[in-house]
Structure 1
Amino acid sequence: MTSKEILQIRNVRYFLMFRSSYFARFYYPVFTLLYLDYGLTLSQFAMLNVVWAATIVLAEVPSGAFADTLGRKRLVVLSSIVMFIEIAMIAFVPTGNPTFVFVVFLINRVLSGLAMALASGADEALAYDTLKQQGKEALWPRVLQIQLRIASSVSIVVTLVGAAMYDVNFMASAYQFLGLAEPETTQDIMRIPVYATLFVAMVAIYAAFSMREEKKVIPSSESKLASIMASMKLTLNTAKWVLSTPYVLFILLYYSLFEHTSRMFLTMNSQYYRAIDIPIIYFGFIGAGISLLQIILAGQSRRLAESMAPKTFIAVMGLATMATYYWISLGWSIYGVIPALILIFIIMTMNIFISYHLNKNTESHNRATVLSFKGLMFNLGYGLIGMLYAYYYKLLSQNYTEEQIEQHIDFIASLSSFFYYFTFLFLAISVFFYFKDKKQAIF
């Protein structure tokens, strides 16, 4: 089946549109810098991301269960609307009062986490079950490959434009061409990428409303209560099933470790690039290069995920990730971009591997709930590493002078924590896996 024929399937088409527009954030190339320019500190930035993760932890699995019982499309639509609201908050917040700004960003992180939890699992389950109903579920890795290529293509534009929007020199030229007063600092232009993201959020809303699902009839308040109770029961039953199914449990444990560690680092990649002396205007070119590599290597990632034995795959990816974090911790100027690119390829390949094996071993009736557990375990890890990093960085930075902090020496010194954190947990999970596997083969 060709890619064009796959795109003819309605829910698959709008799933791809929803995913690519939902994550098309023009401020992502300068994510950390944006927060700092709004007046927040690096420790506050880390803690706000902990709040984001904690919100998802609380809402993730119940939302997945509600998707399985009340309707998946409803949650995807609600997610897109909440996302629009949370972006609008930071687009228009006044910056005169630092305390007020922090409170607004705190609410923003809660809403962002809620939006992420509502969509997580529901959109993927809609698309996958549409394929399954047509007897085409074997095409799912192809859909993921197409999604990766579309998202990467969109990301090329978003990262190039987003970084340019945040570069004072570039925007000064643009303002001059339009006959406007030239900006002097990034504070003068920092909202422009947010405004652009707000516009793209409307595309996600359109895609969410365009999905189709057989309506779940809820005739009375009594049946609504029964549906909610059924959702909670499904959540508990799925939790028991995950914990009692070693294949799924270890897939989720490894996924969470790889994903939350890399996400924490990549969330701060703009600060990392600045620390290794890369000008802001080049952030977009780096992001575009990453997206281009993802497009080129998407097929290779899929083939690795499908063809390698699970044990071998996880071992190879684990060792490669350790080496990559060690390289990152060296803080090499300019050349430090290379391990960041390698890390992205590793995570891209790992995500295809996880989605392929998890969907393959999950029944349709609780697919969204299981996929929500996937998000839950990631966000538990993300919240943990966020708290640990915020505390560690705060202690570490006290040993450096203001001049050294301005030169980002303290930030570079903090990066070794990623190597030690990942290595320790990877070995711990692997030892646990080894003893479980000896009793009964897992993979």
Structure 2
Amino acid sequence: MSLKEILQIGNVRNFLIFRSSYFARFYYPVFTLLYLDYGLTLSQFAMLNVVWAATIVLAEVPSGAFADTLGRKKLVVLSSIVMFIEIAMIAFVPTGNLDLVFFVFLINRVLSGLAMALASGADEALAYDTLKDQGKEDLWPRILQIQLRLSSGIGIFVTLLGAAMYDVNFMANVFHLLGFAEPETTQDIMRIPVYATLLVALVAMYAAFSMREEKKTLPSDGGKLATTMASLKLTLETGKWVTSTPYVLFILLYYSLFEHTSRMFLTMNSQYYSAINIPIIYFGMIGAGVSGLKILLAGQSRRLAESVAPKPFILMMGLASIATYYWISLGWSIYGVIPALVLIFIIMTMNIFISYHLNRKTESHNRATVLSFKGLMFNLGYGSIGMLYAYYYKLLSQNYTEEQIAEHIDFIASLSSFVYYFAFLFIAISMAFYVKDKKQPIF
């Protein structure tokens, strides 16, 4: 089936647009630096991301169940609206009062987590079930490959421009050409990437409203209350099914470990790049390189996910991740970018593998709920590692002088915790898998 024919499938096309625009955020290349320039500390940054994860944990599975009962499009639309509001909050918050800034960012993280939870599973379920209704569900890995390449292509533009927007020298030239007063510090220009992201959020809203779904029929006895009870019942039933189906349970456990550990590090990648002496203007080039890497290797990732048996695949990815985190912890100047790129390829491949195998084992009637459990398990892990890292970094930084902290020596020292954390949990999950698999083969 040609790309043109695939894009003629409405929900698939809008799924691709929604995913690509939802995550096209111009401030991502400087995410950590943005928070610090608003006046927050690194520990506050880590804790705010714990709040983000906790919100998703609380909202993830119920939202998936409501998507399966009330309708998936409604939740995707609501997600896009909430996304617009949370970005607008940090775009216009005054920075004179640090307590107010922290409070606004706290609400931002809650709304961001809620938006993520509302969309999680619902958009994917809409697209997948549209394929299934047409007997084309085998195209799903290819759709994921297209989505990855599209997002990466857009990511090249977004990361290059986003990092440039945050570089004082570059923006001084732009302001001079436009006849405006030239900025002197990053605080003078830090909102520009946020404003740009606010415009892209409108594209996500358009895609969400353009999706199509057959109208859900509410139960005749009880209306919305009956629907709510049906959603909660579906959540409980799906939870029991997940925990009693070792294939799905271990797929989700491995997914959570790989995803939340890498996400914690990649969330702080701008701080990492700064620590290994890379100028801000190059953050965008690195981001563009990452997107280019994804485009080039998306096909290889898909072939690995489809062709390699689950056991050797997970073992290979696990050992590669441990080695990569160790490489990152060395904090090599400039060359430390290489293991960060390797980590991105590992996670890209792992995500295709997980989606491919999870959707194959899930029925249509509870697909969004199961995919929400996927998000739930990720965010439980992300919240946990966020709290652990914030506490560990706070203790560790007390052993360094202000000059050493300014040179990011304490931050580089904290990165070894990722090696121990990932290795410990990977071994623990694998031992549990080995015991269960000996009794009855899982994969």
Same fold (TM over 0.5): yes
Q: Which residue matches 2:97?
A: 97
Identify unmatched segments of 5+ residues in structure 2: none
Q: Which residue matches 1:114?
A: 114
Q: Which residue matches 1:279?
A: 279
Give the secondary structure class of the aligned counterpart of 1:96. Answer: coil
Q: Distance in 2 between matches of 1:295 and 1:272?
A: 24
Kindly tell me: are residues 219 and 369 of structure 1, through their superposed partners in 2, closer, same or farther at Cα, counting changes over 3 Å? closer
Q: Distance in 1 between matches of 2:192 and 2:215?
A: 39
Shift of 1:217: 3.2
Q: Which residue matches 1:373?
A: 373
* Pair 1:424-2:424 in alignment: yes
Q: Distance in 2 between matches of 1:145 and 1:209?
A: 24
Give the secondary structure class of the aligned counterpart of 2:378. Answer: helix
Give 1:66-85 correspondences, 5 Å limit: 66-85=66-85
1:156-197 deviation line (CA, Å, top 9, x unaligned): 000000000000000000000101000000000000000000
Q: Which residue matches 2:389?
A: 389
**Letter in structure 1 aligned against 2:225:** L
1:84-123 deviation line (CA, Å, top 9, x unaligned): 0000000000000000100000000000000000000000
Shift of 1:220: 7.2
Shift of 1:2: 1.3
Identify unmatched segments of 5+ residues in structure 1: none
Give 1:131-280 correspondences, 5 Å limit: 131-218=131-218, 222-280=222-280
Shift of 1:336: 0.1
Q: Distance in 1 between matches of 2:241 and 2:217?
A: 28
Q: Distance in 1 between matches of 2:42 and 2:3?
A: 43
Shift of 1:3: 1.5
Q: Normalising by structure 1, report the TM-score.
A: 0.99
Q: Distance in 1 between matches of 2:308 and 2:151?
A: 25
Q: Which residue matches 1:127?
A: 127
Tell whether the 8 Å contact from 2:219 to 2:226 is kept in structure 1 after alignment: no
Q: Normalising by structure 2, report the TM-score.
A: 0.99
Q: Distance in 1 between matches of 2:2 and 2:299?
A: 14
Shift of 1:60: 0.1
Quick one: percent identity of the two aligned structures? 85
**Letter in structure 2 aligned against 1:61:** V
**Letter in structure 2 aligned against 1:255:** Y
Q: Distance in 2 between matches of 1:340 and 1:4?
A: 34
Give the secondary structure class of the aligned counterpart of 2:298. Answer: helix
Greater Cα shift, 1-10 or 296-305: 1-10
* Pair 1:349-2:349 in alignment: yes
Q: Which residue matches 1:298?
A: 298
Q: Distance in 1 between matches of 2:134 and 2:55?
A: 36
Shift of 1:37: 0.1
Shift of 1:5: 1.0
Paired residue total:
443
Q: Distance in 2 between matches of 1:220 and 1:196?
A: 46
1:278-314 deviation line (CA, Å, top 9, x unaligned): 0000000000000001000000000000000000000
Q: Distance in 2 between matches of 1:221 and 1:34?
A: 51
Give the secondary structure class of the aligned counterpart of 1:346. Answer: helix
Give the secondary structure class of the aligned counterpart of 2:115. Answer: helix
Q: Distance in 2 between matches of 1:90 and 1:223?
A: 38
Q: Distance in 2 between matches of 1:163 and 1:261?
A: 24
Q: Distance in 2 between matches of 1:16 and 1:112?
A: 20
Q: Which residue matches 2:404?
A: 404
* Pair 1:310-2:299 in alignment: no
Q: Which residue matches 1:8?
A: 8
